[in-house]
């Protein structure tokens, strides 16, 4: 019989699967779903077999929110992505949330490169990335509004993969790592 930690993992992955599916289908994650992820994350922190304490669940929620809100502020993520990552933080705590965020960024980069190559827009993607990087280095001279506006105008990929899918993949990867390490999901 699976340990209680596996049941917690299954619950989290079920919620994230629904979020990824709705983001793919409708390009949004409903508020009821992100609220459920946050509340369920705090609820699991209250039980003896939970992955984090309520304090660490709160810290993880704040970190997940802050990391993705910065991207939302410049037009790189939607509001549902911010709330979803905050919910993941409530489940996993701050350290794991940081790792899921980093893994999701790597998955996002790989998917963007593959999509751009398939669509014949790889050179355009790389040029736009270089432009954004230069703008970021010169934000004092150009102004933050100019940098943000440039980011919104320089889309290189048609119909990019929704971020909830990247987060879902990253969370699965993190859970597999934890399992193989044998630290939580025994």
Q: How confident is the model at residue 151 (pLDDT cuts 50, 70, 90)?
A: low
Query: Are 51 and 93 contacting, i.e. CB atoms less than 8 angstroms apart?
Result: yes
pLDDT at 186: 38
How far is 163 from 106, CA to CA, in rounded Å? 12
Phi, psi of 183 (to 5 degrees): -95, -30
Q: pLDDT of 9-19, one tens digit each?
A: 999 999 999 99
Distance CA 19, CA 41 (A): 15
Average of per-residue pLDDT values in the chain: 88
Give the DSSP per-residue string, 64-95. HHHHHHHHHHTTSS-HHHHHHHHHHHHHH-HH
Is 0.75 surpassed by the pTM of this model?
yes
* Residue pLDDT, tens place only, 33-81: 999 999 999 999 999 888 889 999 999 999 999 999 988 887 778 999 9
Query: What is the DSSP code string of 15-41?
Result: HHHHHHHHHHHHSS--HHHHHHHHHHH
52, 88, 51: which is closest to 68 by C-alpha?
A: 88
How would you class 85 by CB atoms within 10 Å of its CB: exposed for 0-12, middle for 13-18, buried for 19 or more? Answer: buried
Reported confidence tier of residue 123, pLDDT bands at 50, 70, 90: confident
Domain ranges of the chain: 4-121+157-181
Q: Among 23-37, 55-69, 137-151, 163-177, which is the least confidently predicted range?
A: 137-151
């Amino acid at each position: 019989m699976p340990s209680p930690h596996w049941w917690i993992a299954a619950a989290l992955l079920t919620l994230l699967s629904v979020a990824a599916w709705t983001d793919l289908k409708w390009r949004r994650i409903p508020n009821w779903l992100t609220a459920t992820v946050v509340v369920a994350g705090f609820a699991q922190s209250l039980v003896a077999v939970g992955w984090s304490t309520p304090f660490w669940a709160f810290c993880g929620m704040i970190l997940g929110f802050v990391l993705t809100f910065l991207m939302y502020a410049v037009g790189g993520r939607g509001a549902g992505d911010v709330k979803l990552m905050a919910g993941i933080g409530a489940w996993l705590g701050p350290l794991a949330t940081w790792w899921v965020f980093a893994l999701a960024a790597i998955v996002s980069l790989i998917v963007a490169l593959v999509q751009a190559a398939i669509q014949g827009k790889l050179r355009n993607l790389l040029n736009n990335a270089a432009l954004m990087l230069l703008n970021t280095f010169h934000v004092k001279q150009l102004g933050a509004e100019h940098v943000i506006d440039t980011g919104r105008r320089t889309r290189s990929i048609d119909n990019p993969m929704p971020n909830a899918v990247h987060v879902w993949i990253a969370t699965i990867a993190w859970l597999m790592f934890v399992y193989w390490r044998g630290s939580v999901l025994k």
